[in-house]
Amino acid sequence: MENWTGYRYPHLFRIWNAWVDETHWHQLDRWLRRYFQGQRSFGKRDRMAYANAMFSAMRILELVGALERQYGVPGHHQWQEWDLTWTPNQVKNIRNDKFWFWVALYHDVEAPAPTELADAEARREWFVTQCADQSNRVALGLEDFWQGWRPQWNAALQARAEKSQWSDSDVAAFKAGQNVLPPVWLRLQKGAEIEQVQAQLSDEGVLVSIVDNKISARGGAGLLETTAFKTGQFEIQDYASQLIADSVAVSPGEKVWDACAGAGGKTLSLAEKMASKGALIATDIREYKLNELKRRAKKADYFNIRTFMWDAEAPLKLPREVRVQQGFDKVLIDAPCSSTGTWRRNPDARWRNSEMADQDLLNLQQHILSQASQSVRPGGNLVYATCSWLVEENEDQVTQFLAAHDQFELISQSMVGFPHIDSDAMFTAVLQKRA
């Protein structure tokens, strides 16, 4: 929220109660859209403010629990052991006025307090003395929580740092950045000129800048209401996601398959690079996602995209022109994953699963890899990507696949995006089938 003013607390309490009363922690953005549809008393500005407050709370969910415990029982706690048993449902035991005052203080130590909270000023004084200074937080063992980070994730992060040769400063930046919302990145299309689109968006009140020949937006007017969006001059696509599409290295006239296309963000990026020449097949297990892809493709004037449902139960039945050349030139697998690389943008995802990547998910990724690889022509490329930073979902999966499929060889693999770019964190690996 931009301003933590007292009159907002009753509304926050009502929204929060509706959220935590859910049996499961759903995707917060979708839940909020449904919630506000039935709450006509909220104007657009208020909906944005309360949505921002909810996302702020989700970023520091475990921290609030730790603050309430530390305030109630001062001293040095064994936070690593506490973290192993802590669950998101435990926040239901924290009274609303206490919970939201901690969230408010995290953002503004001068924030007004809920009127119901009798010891508000004592809490504020304790917070300023004990937590506002980083050295005090470190001494108390609260710094990980402050960054929206669970101590139990440190081993996985260290494995990532070793695999990607991240420096200590890279690791520190990665953790510190988890509670910082990245900008919205735009991918231009229809031959749009970057300076012209930037000027149009600025004129319509969007706060935009050009970084690495890409446009990023950080607020102001809504992007979806702009003329440039309505006329199809850009799509919203994260910087790291654009780099994954780049790694496929498609050329006009090729035969390409986006195996797990979803709503088609990377499919559209590939179509732009192919200049609507060649064949681009997009598949997904969800028909409604493919319908959204078709709508977006029509808006962008891409006419070489064909969509099919595919559940990975069997290899894809190849179209005739692909069968003639013994498979696709390029196959992209943007695999289902834990989505740990999107935590900055979707903080509620941090708490949704007890395990970041369970064995069923790992098995599914390997199964999709195996099935889709059969559709790559000799000399063609198989690109495996996730929006996860976990080694077990990325390099380990590539190693396992190569051990079972010696007709493929590794060309390159790397993390892209955060912490080196202010974006999501994603992984991409390029494998080639020997001719």
List, as own/partner pairs, every contact residues 413-419 make where C-beta atoms lie below 8 angstroms and the sequence separation is at least 24, other chains included: 414/164, 415/160, 415/164, 415/389, 416/240, 416/243, 416/244, 416/247, 417/238, 417/239, 417/240, 417/243, 417/341, 418/174, 418/177, 418/182, 418/240, 418/341, 418/344, 419/166, 419/170, 419/173, 419/174, 419/177
Q: In what order do the strands lie in the sheet with 255-258?
A: 305-309, 279-284, 255-258, 328-334, 376-386, 425-433, 408-417
Mean pLDDT computed over 27-35 = 90
User: Which of 251, 258, 300, 259 has the alpha carbon at shortest distance from 278?
Assistant: 251
Is the residue at 316 inside a domain?
A: yes
Same domain? For 335 and 421 the reply is yes
Name 257's bridge partners. Answer: 281, 331
Q: What is the pLDDT of residue 4?
A: 63
Please check whether residue 108 lies inside any domain of the structure.
Answer: yes
Task: Work out whether the CA dihedral 266, 298, 330, 373 comes out positive or negative.
Answer: positive
CA angle 223, 226, 232 (to 5 degrees): 95
168 in any annotated domain: no
Phi and psi dihedrals of 394, rounded to 5?
Answer: -120, -95
What percent of the chain clears pLDDT 70, i.e. is strictly above it? Answer: 98
Q: What is the DSSP string of 119-167?
A: THHHHHHHHHHHTSSHHHHHHHT-HHHHTT--GGGHHHHHHHHHHHT--
Percent of the chain scored above 90 by pLDDT? Answer: 86
Query: Given 3-state DSSP classes, what are the helix, strand and coil percentages for the chain, each rounded to the nearest 5?
Result: 50, 15, 35
pLDDT at 163: 98
Q: What is the pLDDT of residues 96-149, one digit of tens each?
A: 999 999 999 999 999 999 999 999 999 999 999 999 999 999 999 999 999 999
| Residue 325 and residue 270 share a domain | yes
- pLDDT over threshold 50, residue 380: yes
**Residue range(s) defining the domain that contains residue 230:** 184-236
Domain boundary among 202, 236, 270: 236
**What predicted TM-score, i.e. pTM, was given to this entire model?**
0.94
Q: How many domains does the chain have?
A: 3
Average pLDDT score, the chain: 93
| Half-sphere exposure (Cβ direction) of 6: Cα atoms closer than 13 Å | 8
Phi, psi of 357 (to 5 degrees): -145, 105
Q: Compute the half-sphere exposure of residue 13: CA atoms within 13 Å on the CB side of its CA.
A: 14
Q: What is the CATH number of the domain that holds 214?
A: 3.30.70.1170
Three-state DSSP at 23 gives: coil
Confidence of residue 7 (pLDDT cuts 50, 70, 90): low
Q: Is 70 exceeded by the pLDDT of residue 332?
A: yes
Same domain for 223 and 343?
no
What CATH number should be reported for the domain holding residue 380? 3.40.50.150
227 & 292 share domain: no
User: In this predicted structure, what is the pLDDT of residue 411?
Assistant: 98
Q: Which long-range contacts (C-beta less than 8 Å, at least 24 apart) are formed by 303-306?
A: 303/276, 304/271, 304/274, 304/276, 304/277, 304/278, 304/279, 304/280, 305/264, 305/267, 305/271, 305/280, 305/281, 306/279, 306/280, 306/281, 306/282
Coil vs helix vs strand at 360? helix
In a domain, 153, yes or no: no
Q: Does 356 lie in the same domain as 327? A: yes
- The pLDDT of 225-238, averaged and rounded, is 94
pLDDT(352) > 50: yes
Domain membership flag for residue 302: yes
Are 420 and 277 part of one and the same domain? yes
Q: How far is 348 from 30, CA to CA, in rounded Å?
A: 11
> Residue 238 above 50 pLDDT?
yes
pLDDT at 263: 92
**Does residue 419 have a cis peptide bond before it, meaning omega lies within 30 degrees of 0?**
yes
**76-80, 220-224, 229-233, 366-370: range with lowest mean pLDDT:** 220-224
Which residue, 118, 146, 174, sits at the end of a domain? Answer: 146
If asked whether residues 38 and 130 sit together in one domain, one would say: yes
* 184-188 vs 206-211, strand pairing mode: unpaired
Assigned domain for 380 exists: yes
Average pLDDT of the residues in 217-232:
91
Residue 352: both structure tokens together: 């949704």
| Residue 222 shares a structural domain with residue 257 | no
Average pLDDT over residues 207-233: 92
CA dist 162 and 166 (Å) reads 7
Residue 239 in contact with residue 265, Cβ under 8 Å? no
199 Cβ contact list (under 8 Å, min separation 6): none
The arithmetic mean of pLDDT across residues 381-400, rounded, is 98
Q: List the one residue out of 366, 432, 363 whose CA is nearest residue 404.
A: 366
pLDDT over 80 at 78, yes or no = yes
Tokens of 291: 């319908």
Clarify whether residues 322 and 381 are in a common domain. Answer: yes
Residues 243 and 198 both lie in one domain: no
Q: In this structure, is residue 177 part of a structural domain?
A: no
Helix (H) or strand (E) segment spanning residue 407: none
User: Residue 277 has what DSSP assignment?
Assistant: -
**Whether 118 and 243 share a structural domain:** no
Which whole-number Å values give the CA distances from 237 to 177, 257, 374, in the listed order? 20, 19, 29
Q: Given a cut of 80, is residue 62 above it in pLDDT? A: yes
Q: What is the C-alpha separation between 340 and 335, in angstroms, rounded?
A: 13
3-class state of residue 213 by DSSP: coil
User: DSSP 3-state assignment of 265?
Assistant: helix
- Specify whether 232 is located in the same domain as 243: no
- Taking 50 as the threshold, does the pLDDT of residue 1 lie above it? no
End-to-end CA distance of the chain: 57
Residue 158 lies in a domain: no
Q: What is the pLDDT of residues 159-191, one digit of tens each?
A: 999 999 999 999 999 999 999 999 999 999 999
Q: For tokens 């953002």, name the residue.
A: 107
In this predicted structure, which of 1-10, 80-89, 272-281 has the lowest mean pLDDT? 1-10
Which residue, 236, 263, 296, sits at the end of a domain?
236
Say what the pLDDT of residue 5 is: 60
Mean pLDDT along residues 74-93: 92
- Least Cα distance to 325 among 375, 383, 282, 368 occurs for 375
Q: DSSP code of 239?
A: H
